[in-house]
Each structure stands twice: as structure tokens, then as C-alpha cells.
């Protein structure tokens, strides 16, 4: 049975609370049709809670280098950055050009994510994303002017229902904790 996402309005506090909390989990799984993603993750509605949203297309992230490029394009990373893990890790915790209280990245068609890469690469991505979320949730004691308060950082792995079981298993085998964003009520 495919769960339906909640109605998109501010009265659905659980949905928004998950995307703005500073506590783990930092990743979620959203089983829904690709055609519903823009309705479910409506930038105008999310902006009410100061959630800055970006989409990364999993079908264009078959390898780590492609993911780094797609993520960099979505979040407007400086062009001079290389697509190595260290540069990606640095950029993901230095997004001073955005002044939001909450960062949300939705990876669409996540069943395609890292199709040409190893489970080890997917695990490395999971560790990097968790490290970034922890950093944003607990800023340095003397934060720079652009980071004066804790910021929530979340990733949603969207997947079509027909690929959900396989995708959940891949994420789990890579050590990525991503409970369902939408749960039955």
C-alpha cells in the first residue's frame, strides 16, 4: 500500500516539524510518484517556515562526481570548487550565500542515485550528509555573521512506489537512516 503524503498546508504540523527539527533523523524517505513531488514539496508553502528547498535529480547522479555537480548546481556552489569529497564536504557546510533557518534537499528518483557507484560511495554520502546536518544544528561557539543560529539541514530521498523496497534496502545497507517522511495516521 502506498501512503499518500499529507495535505500541503501549514496545519499539518508533523510534516513541517520533521523538516525543521535540529535533532536526528536528518534524512527521510518519501515514496510518491515523481509527478507529485512539486505539489508535495511546494517552495511557496515551505518558505512560510523559512525552509529553503532545492531539488537534486537522482537520475543525473549515477556517480559521486555527478552528484557533487548536481548538488552544487542546485545550491549554487562556487564554480571553482572541484568535485572531490573534501571540496563537497566543505561547500555543504559553507553556504553563506543562503540566509535560511532550514535547508531541505529533495533527491528525486533516488533509486537511480549512485547506480554506477558502490555501496561504499553511498555510505560515504550518508556520513557526509549526517556530518553536515550535525554541523548546521550545532554551530561553532563563535559563529560567523552569516551563521548566527542553529539551522536544520535535511535530505529527502524520493522514490516511485515500484522501486521503494529496493531503494530502502540500498539506503539501509549503506547505513543511511531514512524513515518515512509520511506515515499513516
Separation of alpha carbons 98 and 133, rounded Å: 15
pTM equals 0.87
Nearest to 178, CA basis, from 126, 143, 134? 126
**For residue 3, pLDDT beyond 50:** no
- In what order do the strands lie in the sheet containing 102-108? 27-31, 152-159, 102-108, 51-57
Residue 66 DSSP SS3: helix
Asked whether 164 and 38 are in contact (CB, 8 A), the reply is no
Ramachandran angles phi, psi of 180, nearest 5°: -60, 130
Q: Give the pLDDT score at 81.
A: 63
Ramachandran angles phi, psi of 63, nearest 5°: -135, 165
| CB atoms inside a 10 Å sphere around CB 183 | 11
Residue 45, all three cell numbers: 508553502
For range 112-133, the mean pLDDT: 91
Lowest mean pLDDT across 56-60, 64-68, 154-158, 159-163? 64-68
Q: What is the 3-state secondary structure (H, E, C) of 33-52?
A: CHHHHHHHCCHHHHHCCCEE
**For residue 5, pLDDT beyond 60:** no
Domains, the chain, in order of start with CATH, read 27-140+148-156+164-173 (3.40.50.300)
**pLDDT greater at residue 47 or residue 178:** 178
Distance of CA 100 to the CA centre of its chain: 15
**For residue 146, pLDDT beyond 80:** no
- For 12-149, strand residue ranges (E) read 27-31, 51-57, 102-108
How far is the CA of 51 from the CAs of 3, 75, 82, 177, in angstroms? 24, 13, 27, 21
Ramachandran angles phi, psi of 163, nearest 5°: -110, 0
How far is the CA of 96 from the CAs of 54, 76, 146, in angstroms? 15, 11, 6
Q: Give the pLDDT score at 21.
A: 87
Distance of CA 145 to the CA centre of its chain: 25
Amino acid at each position: 500500500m502506498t501512503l499518500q503524503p499529507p495535505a500541503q498546508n501549514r496545519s499539518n504540523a508533523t510534516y513541517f516539524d520533521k523538516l525543521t527539527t535540529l535533532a536526528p533523523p536528518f534524512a527521510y524517505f518519501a515514496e510518491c510518484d515523481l509527478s507529485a513531488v512539486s505539489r508535495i514539496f511546494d517552495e511557496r508553502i515551505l518558505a512560510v517556515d523559512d525552509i529553503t528547498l532545492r531539488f537534486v535529480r537522482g537520475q543525473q547522479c549515477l556517480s559521486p562526481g555527478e552528484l557533487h555537480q548536481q548538488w552544487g548546481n542546485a545550491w549554487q556552489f562556487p564554480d571553482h570548487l572541484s568535485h572531490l569529497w573534501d571540496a563537497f564536504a566543505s561547500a555543504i557546510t559553507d553556504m553563506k550565500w543562503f540566509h535560511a533557518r532550514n535547508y531541505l534537499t529533495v533527491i528525486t528518483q533516488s533509486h537511480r542515485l549512485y547506480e554506477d557507484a558502490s555501496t561504499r560511495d553511498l555510505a560515504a554520502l550518508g556520513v557526509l550528509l549526517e556530518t553536515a546536518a550535525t554541523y548546521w544544528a550545532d554551530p561553532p561557539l563563535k559563529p560567523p555573521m552569516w551563521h548566527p543560529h542553529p539551522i536544520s539541514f535535511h535530505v529527502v530521498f524520493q522514490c516511485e512506489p515500484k522501486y521503494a523496497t529496493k531503494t530502502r534496502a540500498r539506503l539501509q545497507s549503506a547505513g543511511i537512516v531514512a524513515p518515512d517522511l509520511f506515515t499513516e495516521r
